[in-house]
Amino acid sequence: MSKSSFLLPQVTRQTFHVTHSLRMFSQLPEQFERMRYRGDQPYPGQDLIQSALQESWLVHARLLIEFLGIIGRPNSRDFSSAMFDWELPEGDYQDLKDVWTDASQHLVHFSKNREPEDTWAIAQGRYDVERMATVGERVLALFGAFVESPNEELDKVRAQYRPEVERASARIAELADLRESARLDAVALQARITAGQAPDL
């Protein structure tokens, strides 16, 4: 791509949207996990919030997978890593393709493959925090490779990407400790409920 085809303000603006998805992609698993541990007396709407968190994560996962070029060919109408002449390393990306397919067929489109049992499977734990963490590690490792790839045009926005990728990677790495922290929070919450104290919601 020629230098003249790049308008820096537009690239900067599009980069902001990508880094927003990186933040959401890495922050939502923590909130999803904490919502699971609300004691034996879940409050009204808890399942709705959990579903919203899960679905939002899938949408952002789909966006990032597309940006990296894991699915399909680069679309000139879409902002993607291909605009920086980055090529996806050779490898098996079926697990990430499966995430994209789930989000595409069972969430953002009323596809013919959207079946009740498939939607139920997603809701019942196909994307628990362990799966989110595994997918997160894979996606962010690729983003790390993209951000550090040599490219003159990428140099102009590299400073926007690098800290977000680093923070997102750190959040995903902390998810294992989060599970224990959330469990302990649940124990404390249940103790308050048992003692007749109002929970902090």
53 CB-contact burial (10 Å; exposed 0-12 / middle 13-18 / buried 19+)? buried
pTM here is 0.80
- Cα–Cα distance between 184 and 120 in angstroms, integer? 29
Q: Per-residue confidence of the chain (201 residues) as pLDDT tens digits?
A: 445 455 567 888 899 999 999 999 999 999 888 777 655 556 677 878 888 899 999 999 999 999 999 986 666 678 899 889 999 999 999 999 999 998 988 888 776 766 555 555 565 567 888 899 999 999 999 999 999 999 998 998 999 999 999 999 999 998 877 766 666 666 666 666 667 665 555
Under 8 Å between Cβ of 146 and 5: no
